Amino acid sequence: MYDVIIVGLGPAGATLARLLDKKYSVAVIDKKGSGEEGFRKPCGGLLAMDAQKALSRFGLTLPKEVLVDPQIFAVRTIDLDAGATQHYQRFYINLDRQKFDLWLKTLIPNHVEIFGNCLCTGIRKQGEYYDVEFMQGDHRRVISGKYLVGADGANSIMRRYLYPDKKIRSYVSIQQWFKERNLTPFYSCIFDSKNTDCYSWTISKDGYFIFGGAYPKHGCRERFENQKERLGKLGIHFGEALRTESCLVLRPSRLDDFCTGEDNIFLIGEAAGFISPSSLEGISSAINTGYYLSKVLNAKSSDPCKAYRRKTFRLRLKLYLKVLKSPFMYFPPLRRLVMASGVNSLKMIRSN
């Protein structure tokens, strides 16, 4: 029997587990193991400014083992519809996402009990408490708790339990790793309405070249391969894929897509829909919502679900404004005009 059970130990779950008061007995169920084994989050591994700001509020500094080379300060924006390319300054930190998640895990106090390499399979309400069922190897286990927290991402079992009929716009994110064959490492953001109404990316990372994108579910792998072929014609080199990763990614399109929970079940991070609909950046929202919920639970609010929803109001509004902004990024004629204007772009200087 626990006071709080958290499912998922990405940035959202790890932040909450770290900040909850010691008066709570806390259990965490996570698919990742203690090292390289177990689940790996398919992610490009770029820490955006909002995520850097979220970490800095706690005085946290990234250990060097989390960082990877190169650190690049310009993003090559490629519009395959218009055949146009521009470069824009961006201040991302290039990191190893698996090591980043494991580092956040090391910050969790010892009194929190972590069940690693485990998959949550079911939830049942028993009076004022919940039974949470999960698989640990070949063994089925059940633990009980008063408060449940879904920090388990886009395909959250907690969200499906609470809102079985809620449908949030979603895509399949596919990402492949290659040996770096391009002469100059680079980041890129790719728009290609023939294959997706979202966007794709390339990232250079410690001698590897990553290509990924978010695609409509129907024909997602074919769209991915078609886009690789189009980029190959621009001189981007891929070679043999060393690893292929995929996962579901949410892309909220309405204000009510942000669902924070009810009846002593809380949703944080992407499980609640807190991800940017324009850039798909979610680490900052994950960290912030983990912090907001810790404040609510530590204060022992009489109605914690209502208090948590109130705490996240500004974040919900901020992300909804990005829903309104998205058409200006993803509508080809407007994007073509913006890129052609050269506003805020960098004038690249080529060395001899």
Q: Which two tokens stand for residue 108?
A: 């969790």
pLDDT, one tens digit per residue, over 278-290 is: 999 999 999 999 9
What CATH number is given to the structural domain containing 196? 3.50.50.60
pLDDT average, residue stretch 2-16: 97
At 41, is the pLDDT very low, low, confident or very high (cuts 50, 70, 90)? Answer: confident
CA dist 191 and 305 (Å) reads 39
* Residue 344 lies inside a defined structural domain of this protein: no
* Residue 347 lies inside a defined structural domain of this protein: no
* Residue 19 lies inside a defined structural domain of this protein: yes
* Residue 256 lies inside a defined structural domain of this protein: yes
CA dist 264 and 267 (Å) reads 10
pLDDT, one tens digit per residue, over 190-247 is: 999 999 999 999 999 999 999 999 999 999 999 999 999 999 999 998 999 999 999 9
CA dist 120 and 127 (Å) reads 20
CA dist 53 and 73 (Å) reads 17
At 57, is the pLDDT very low, low, confident or very high (cuts 50, 70, 90)? Answer: very high
CA dist 297 and 287 (Å) reads 16
Enter the pTM of the model. 0.95
Total domains present in the chain: 1
Give residue 288's domain range: 2-338
* Residue 73 lies inside a defined structural domain of this protein: yes
Contact 24, 3 (CB under 8 A): yes
* Residue 23 lies inside a defined structural domain of this protein: yes
Please check the confidence at residue 352 and state whether its pLDDT lies above 70: no
* Residue 189 lies inside a defined structural domain of this protein: yes
